[in-house]
């Protein structure tokens, strides 16, 4: 080859040229060995697609690098804000960040990656996010019907699992629904579950009552743990759960039963001829329960010590139709068949009473400022000041049978027989309403992400986006908390925190 190129032969005999050529070859090898490719573009971030304003949501993104370099990721939130870069993580490791949107609207969340040499990817394809209140997230089942009693209120447990009873004859089911609306598990109960709402213990055990056989305990993974049969009578109401795990249930035979967390009998107390409502438990362990004395045509609220002995009782003007609510000062609130909402002092003396224009089947809820909310069959939601005077009332288009739930921003959620879930501000001003195809007889629950859960007569469990989590108030919903413990200070799970 050199013979064909005489000039090259001359150059190759030159020592300086050979040195320069060797250096060029070496530099070429070094450059080629140092060539760096950018990471691969992340996939669209993973996270919610519907949310509420002023609630933080987490999103996750992953990217890989051709040279296995470490990677940092950042997010564009679609509202003009971009996150800081994350710390560097191994190629393929997920990065999670959270963001809060202050305004309702439609947003695109994207991710971008870079390696340690500063090579950037393009922005990922977006995750489309809707921020707003009153939006349907999902309903269960999507098609068909859940044969749940429309009066069975859901409970929300650790991790956001929703529990409802599916009532049918001769056997029913306790359903566990994932936060995305898919079925987690289904536990068969050989009983008719009827109107009872589930209650959740500190260890995640789910308790539910049946018309015929008594109390059922189901493990967090859907296995029947134990059942306890009452001697006689039907149980119409959910259990309450004490701070020590004691399970309290009231029966139509006029007895309240106390069971330990393993289903063993502790004590029972005969108060009258029938008990229809669930118990409520005060901060000192006092158990409050209604009782009818048919033989004397008398109706009472009982206060029992934790060992089942009588503390006091108060005679009312009619049947007690609601479970009690307990204020921050120990005031006991409940309603009767003659349209009165009562407020009793902790010693059982009358504080005040307020007469609505219709029967009150709605257990009261208490806001952070002491406002008492309840519904009536006169179609209204009432708000009373702590002294028992009327603050405001809001008229729906149907009877209001069940209890309101209060969000952290003071929003009051209430269902009506007209088929709407209403959201009202703490001043009684309408915010929005969501229509179902049947009357709403359930008391809502509010998840940690602001999702409002309720069951409609149309046979569906609904998940609607609200404005924030459950209020940290003395008694913000039916049976106090999302676990339906019916206890002051309840709702704290051993492995789930405060739900």
What average pLDDT score do residues 186-213 get? 86
Look up tokens 């040279």; give the residue: 67
Q: At a CB cut-off of 8 Å and minimum separation 6, what does 76 contact?
A: 82, 83, 108, 109, 110, 111, 112, 123
Q: Distance between CA 145 and CA 134 in Å, rounded?
A: 22
pLDDT at position 253 is 78
What average pLDDT score do residues 308-328 get? 92
pLDDT at position 1 is 47
More confident site: 322 or 475: 475
Contact 496, 204 (CB under 8 A): yes
**Pair of tokens at residue 129:** 């996010």
pTM for the full model?
A: 0.86
Contact 174, 147 (CB under 8 A): no
pLDDT at position 494 is 40
More confident site: 178 or 401: 178
Look up tokens 């993580």; give the residue: 89
**What's the whole-number average pLDDT of the chain?**
88
pLDDT at position 19 is 62
Question: What's the Cα-to-Cα distance from 92 to each of 46, 47, 127, 202, rounded to whole Å?
Answer: 14, 18, 19, 37
User: In this model, does residue 95 exceed pLDDT 90?
Assistant: yes
Residues 270-284: tens digit of each pLDDT: 887 666 678 999 999
More confident site: 305 or 323: 305
pLDDT at position 75 is 98
What average pLDDT score do residues 427-441 get? 94
Highest mean pLDDT among 321-330, 379-388, 483-492: 379-388
Same fold, 46-131 and 135-465: no
More confident site: 285 or 297: 285
pLDDT at position 33 is 46
More confident site: 172 or 87: 87
More confident site: 417 or 147: 417
What average pLDDT score do residues 471-485 get? 97
Report the candidate in 311, 309, 306 with the shortest Cα–Cα distance to residue 260.
306
Domain boundaries, the chain: 46-131, 135-465
Percent of the chain with pLDDT over 90: 71
pLDDT at position 267 is 95
What average pLDDT score do residues 395-422 get? 95
Report the candidate in 169, 183, 98, 102 with the shortest Cα–Cα distance to residue 139.
183
Q: Which residues pair with 224 in a beta bridge?
A: 218
Q: Which has the minimum average pLDDT: 217-226, 229-238, 425-434, 435-444? A: 229-238
pLDDT at position 151 is 52
Q: Which has the minimum average pLDDT: 159-173, 313-327, 330-344, 415-429? A: 159-173
Q: Which residues pair with 373 in a beta bridge?
A: 365, 383
pLDDT at position 363 is 93
SS3 letters across the chain: CCCCCHHHHHHHCCHHHHHHHHHHHHHHHHHHHCCCCCCCCCCCCECCCEECCCCCEEEEECCCCCCCCCEEEEEECCCCCECCCCCCECCCCCEEEEECCCCCEEEEEEEEEEECCCCECCCCCCEEEEECCCCEEEEECCCCCCCCCCCCCCEECHHHCEEEEECCCCCEEEEEECCCCCEEEEEEECCCCCCCCCEECCCCCEEEEECCCEEEEECCCCCEEEEECCCCCCCCCCCEECCCCCEEEECCCCEEEEECCCCCEEEEEECCCECCCCCEECCCCCEEEEEEEHHHCEEEEEEECCCCCEEEEEECCCCECCCCEECCCCCEEEEECCCEEEEECCCCCEEEEEECCCCCCCCCEECCCCCEEEECCCCEEEEECCCCCEEEEEECCCCCCCCCEEECCCCEEEECCCCEEEEECCCCCEEEEEECCCCCCCCCEECCCCEEEEECCCCCEEEEECCCCECCCCECCCCCCCCCCCECCCCEECCCEEC
More confident site: 144 or 424: 424
Q: Which has the minimum average pLDDT: 172-176, 412-416, 417-421, 486-490? A: 172-176
Residues 8-62: tens digit of each pLDDT: 455 456 666 556 555 555 444 444 445 789 999 999 999 999 999 999 999 999 9
User: In this model, does residue 234 exceed pLDDT 60?
Assistant: yes
Residues 339-370: tens digit of each pLDDT: 999 999 999 999 999 999 999 989 999 999 99
User: In this model, does residue 489 exceed pLDDT 50?
Assistant: yes
Report the candidate in 355, 385, 344, 353 with the shortest Cα–Cα distance to residue 367.
385
Contact 196, 210 (CB under 8 A): yes
pLDDT at position 145 is 56
CATH code for 46-131?
A: 2.60.40.10
User: In this model, does residue 314 exceed pLDDT 50?
Assistant: yes
Q: How confident is the model at residue 328 (pLDDT cuts 50, 70, 90)?
A: very high
More confident site: 248 or 319: 248
* The CATH fold of domain 135-465: Methylamine Dehydrogenase; Chain H (2.130.10)
């Amino acid at each position: 080859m050199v013979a064909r190129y005489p000039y090259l032969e001359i150059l190759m005999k030159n020592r300086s040229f050979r040195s320069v050529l060797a250096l060029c070859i070496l530099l070429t090898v070094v450059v080629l060995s140092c060539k760096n490719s950018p990471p691969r573009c992340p996939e669209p971030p993973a996270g919610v697609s519907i949310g509420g304003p002023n609630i933080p949501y987490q999103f996750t993104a992953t990217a890989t690098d051709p040279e296995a370099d470490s990677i940092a990721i950042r997010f564009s939130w679609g509202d003009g804000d971009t996150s800081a870069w994350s710390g560097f993580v191994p190629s393929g490791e997920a990065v999670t960040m959270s963001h809060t949107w202050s305004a309702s609207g439609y947003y695109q969340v994207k991710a971008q990656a870079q390696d340690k040499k500063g090579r950037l990817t393009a922005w990922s394809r977006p995750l489309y996010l809707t921020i707003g209140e009153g939006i349907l997230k999902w309903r269960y089942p999507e098609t068909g019907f859940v044969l749940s009693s429309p009066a069975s209120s859901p409970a929300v447990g650790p991790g956001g699992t929703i529990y409802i009873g599916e009532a049918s004859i001769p056997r029913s089911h306790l359903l566990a629904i994932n936060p995305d609306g898919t079925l987690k598990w289904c536990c068969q109960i050989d009983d008719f579950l009827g109107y009872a709402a589930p209650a959740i213990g500190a260890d995640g055990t789910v308790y539910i009552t049946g018309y015929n056989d008594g109390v059922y305990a189901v493990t967090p993974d859907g296995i029947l743990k134990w059942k306890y049969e009452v001697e006689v009578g039907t149980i119409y109401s959910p259990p309450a759960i004490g701070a020590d795990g004691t399970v309290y249930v009231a029966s139509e035979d006029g007895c309240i039963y106390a069971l330990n967390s393993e289903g063993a009998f502790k004590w029972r107390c005969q108060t009258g001829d029938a008990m229809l409502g669930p118990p409520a438990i005060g901060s000192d362990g006092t158990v409050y329960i209604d009782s009818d004395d048919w033989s004397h045509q008398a109706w009472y609220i009982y206060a029992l010590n934790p060992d089942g002995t009588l503390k006091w009782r108060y005679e009312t003007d009619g049947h007690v139709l609601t479970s009690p609510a307990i204020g921050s000062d120990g005031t006991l609130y409940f309603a009767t068949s003659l349209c009165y909402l009562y407020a009793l002092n902790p010693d059982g003396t009358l504080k005040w009473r307020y007469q609505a224009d219709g029967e009150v089947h709605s257990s009261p809820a208490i806001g952070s400022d002491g406002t008492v909310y309840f519904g009536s069959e006169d179609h209204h939601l009432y708000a009373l000041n702590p002294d028992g005077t009327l603050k405001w009332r809001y008229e729906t288009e149907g009877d209001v049978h069940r209890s309101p739930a209060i969000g952290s921003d003071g929003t009051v959620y209430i269902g009506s027989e007209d088929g709407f879930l209403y959201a009202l501000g703490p001043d009684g001003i309408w915010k929005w309403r969501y229509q179902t195809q049947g009357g709403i007889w359930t008391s809502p629950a509010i998840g940690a992400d602001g999702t409002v859960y309720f069951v409609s007569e149309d046979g569906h469990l609904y998940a609607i986006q609200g404005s924030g989590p459950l209020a940290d108030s003395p008694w913000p919903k039916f049976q106090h908390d999302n676990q339906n413990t019916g206890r002051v200070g309840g709702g704290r799970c051993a492995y789930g925190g405060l739900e």
